[in-house]
């Protein structure tokens, strides 16, 4: 899974019917020390996250196993809001 910061929201009126009523957020992936890395991605929110929060993002087919996303055409889902990151290397 990736760590990321939510930087925005996405609104789409015309979309796959299975995406209706899902919240789409723009996430900037970051390394565990908080440094942004990689490209922005659009992820479905399943934990009621909001802009500015640090979150856990699952990618690929596993994203469909998140709550409420069974058989949805998605490849990234926000599955947790991060309280604390501890690095010890």
The residue ranges that bind other proteins (CB under 8 A) are 1-3, 31-32, 37-38, 46-48, 56, 58-67, 69, 77, 79-89
Q: Residue 11 or residue 37: which is nearer to other proteins going by CB? A: 37
CA 78 to CA 63: how far, in whole Å? 8
Tell me the closest approach of the beta carbon of residue 29 to other proteins, in angstroms: 9
Tell me the closest approach of the beta carbon of residue 20 to other proteins, in angstroms: 20
Q: Residue 71 or residue 84: which is nearer to other proteins going by CB? A: 84
Contacts of 14 (CB under 8 A, 6+ apart): none
**Tokens representing residue 16 in the block:** 């796959």
Q: Max Cα separation, the chain?
A: 46
Q: Residue 71 or residue 86: which is nearer to other proteins going by CB? A: 86
Judge whether 79 and 59 are in contact, CB under 8 Å. Answer: no
């Amino acid at each position: 899974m990736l760590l990321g910061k939510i930087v925005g929201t996405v609104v789409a009126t015309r979309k796959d019917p299975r995406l209706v009523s899902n919240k789409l957020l723009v996430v900037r992936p970051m390394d565990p020390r908080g440094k942004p890395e990689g490209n922005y991605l659009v992820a479905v929110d399943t934990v009621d996250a909001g802009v500015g929060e640090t979150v856990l993002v699952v990618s690929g087919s596993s994203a469909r196993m998140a709550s409420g996303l069974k058989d949805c055409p998605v490849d990234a889902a926000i599955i947790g809001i991060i309280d604390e990151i501890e690095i010890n290397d």
